[in-house]
Structure 1
Amino acid sequence: MAETVFTPSLEGMKHVKSESGVILTKPFLDVCKQILPVLDKFGAAMALVKSDIGGNITRLENKYSSDPSKYEQLYSMVQEEVQNKTAKVIYALLVNMYKSTSVHNWVAMKLAPNREKFMEVISGTGDIKADIEKFCTTFYPFLKENHDFLASVGLDDLKAS
């Protein structure tokens, strides 16, 4: 089967929402983790972004693990943190993911010293251009929904792109 660095996250996105359409914490965080190796392919330029996102994912996974049934839905964690005025970690992850993976930010690929070599490295055996487009069009709506939710609870510092 043809695969690219995006194949695991594309597969994982099929499980991010419950049957009722709610974003589930563990599958969402799993997809976020699967994006980290993609950031590695950009080299040192993305190391800080990867570290920041990875640290936020770990903190959210730890919170989720403390009570998986309570935090099954991503927004239950956010709502609790908003009430306790401690929403910084979730806010930081969602903002970083929104900014780092939006369709408009894939221009970062142009920063690679040799674009053809970079595309070859990340393509694996699949159609990398098709997978990048599918990833962006599939993951971006989750991030947009997260942004809209954050705005609805007064965490609207992030401007939609």
Structure 2
Amino acid sequence: MAETVFTPSLEGMKHVKSENGVILTKPFLDVCKQILPVLDKFGAAMALVKTDIGGNITHGSGRSSKQDCKRFLKLHKWTSVAHKVAMKLAPNREKFMEVISGTGDIKADIEKFCTTFFPLLKENHDFLASVGLDDMKAS
């Protein structure tokens, strides 16, 4: 079966929501964990970002409180930062695609990942805003 670095995340996103449409914390964090190998593709330069994101995922999966919400917010922020850093580390589009490609259709998987994961992040962001934990503008 043809795979890319996004294949595990795409598979995991199928299980992130409950039957009634609520985002489930553990499956969501598991998907976030599956994104970490993407950062490995960029070598040591991304180690600090990967460590911080991984720490937020680990701590977020062990709590269910206001602290958990803050971890989601920090994870959401770092996902955005990691994307920006990853884009700067890649010298050009071709090299970026070469670094993250696998045996599957990387362009299709990137598109599928973005269109599926972004709404989950937005829903988390909207929830955090609704409970007064939205400090995205402060950073």
TM-score under structure 2 normalisation? 0.84
In structure 2, distance between residues paired with 1:31 and 1:116: 26
The 3 A distance-change label for structure 1 pair 106 and 95 is closer
Is residue 72–residue 124 contact of structure 2 (8 Å, CA) maintained in 1? Answer: no
Counterpart for residue 60 of structure 1: 60
Counterpart for residue 78 of structure 2: 96
Shift of 1:44: 3.3
Count of residues in correspondence between the two structures: 137
Higher Cα Rg, which structure:
1
Shift of 1:108: 3.7
- Structure 2: any 5+ residue segments left out of the alignment? none
In structure 1, distance between residues paired with 2:126 and 2:57: 20
Per the alignment, in what secondary structure is the counterpart of residue 138 of structure 1? helix
| Deviates most, 118-127 or 135-144 | 118-127
Out of 140, 145, 151, which is 2:129 matched to?
Answer: 151
Is residue 91–residue 150 contact of structure 1 (8 Å, CA) maintained in 2? Answer: yes
Counterpart for residue 25 of structure 2: 25
Q: 4+ residue stretches of structure 1 with deviation over 6 A?
A: none
Shift of 1:121: 3.3
In structure 2, distance between residues paired with 1:33 and 1:110: 22
Shift of 1:145: 0.5
Shift of 1:107: 8.4
Q: Map Cα deviations across residues 8-34 of structure 1 (whole Å, 9 max, x no partner).
A: 000100000011000011110110000
Q: State the superposition RMSD in angstroms.
A: 2.3
Per the alignment, in what secondary structure is the counterpart of residue 53 of structure 1? helix
Is residue 69–residue 128 contact of structure 2 (8 Å, CA) maintained in 1? Answer: no
* 1:7 counterpart = 2:11: no
Shift of 1:158: 1.1
Is residue 42–residue 109 contact of structure 1 (8 Å, CA) maintained in 2? Answer: no
Per the alignment, in what secondary structure is the counterpart of residue 17 of structure 1? coil
Counterpart for residue 81 of structure 1: 66
